[in-house]
Structure 1
Amino acid sequence: MQSLTISLALVAILLVVTLQVHLSQAINCTLPLTKVGEKFYFVESKAKKSWYDANAYCISNGLQLANVESEYKFNELADFLSTMGYRSDWVWIGAIGRQGSWLQFGPARRLPYANWYISQPDNLNSENCMNLYRISEKWYMNDYSCRTALSYICEIDDSRTYIN
């Protein structure tokens, strides 16, 4: 019984330390963050940037361009953007590549989930960066020219450790 109490106390201490580390990461970021599920998001719609500049901005603030790991996370992010008032805006997220070969950032790996719009990605005019966009009430993924200035969404994943 005593060893169980000690084990529970150690687990509690580890949880508090882990929570403090994650909260300090969010607090170190001076951008206004919104918690959605396990992640904290920052959405920029006024100072639009190229994919490269948006990615650099996220990183310089201790974040990364948002990732979509599953259908559930995609729907969670789409619902969040919809509740933020995004109707038909195009929003950069953290994937880059070429038709058939896409990588997700943080850490770089093959894209685990995709909800492409019909006939996308098409790599038309060297479209090598991923964005989300809304048609009617549904959100989709699309490949787009990386140099185009769009809104973007940064994230900090509460379950991941970041190293700048």
Structure 2
Amino acid sequence: MEIITNNQDDNIGGIATLRFAPGYFFSSLNPLTFNTGYDWITVEVTTESVSFTEKASDSVNLTYQDTQISYTLPKIRPEVHTILNKYRGQRCIVECEDNNGYLRRAGITGLLTLLDQSASGQQAADVNGYGITFAGQQLQPAIFI
């Protein structure tokens, strides 16, 4: 497992860890099986920097979930920027684990796309942050595993 951010010692409650992997990392989605040599890309995050939203929407033929997972990495290092930039535009499976050990997986029934990353924050000290969003539509809500 590749951890690309430092541990946040003051992260109490909420989502503690976010993991993602592009679709080509997997040989099978049911059961979820990685290709040889691939594993999750792990990001440890602070509670206030992450949002996970799902909203049910209807079309003529079915109900689907609009899913969005957004987070901000403060004070990002150039090497982390380079790693994340490789996956821009990739369709991914995303897991969010909270500090109680509950794990939620999104993207199995509709891979989520890693959208543009950018500097974040309004204050001068915040402009070296990095905002990242996974977004997409799924046939069912994210599952707890």
* TM-score normalised by structure 2 residue count: 0.32
The structure richer in strand per residue is 2
The structure richer in helix per residue is 1
More contact order relative to length (CA 8 Å, sep ≥ 6): 1
* TM-score normalised by structure 1 residue count: 0.30
Structure of higher CA gyration radius: 1
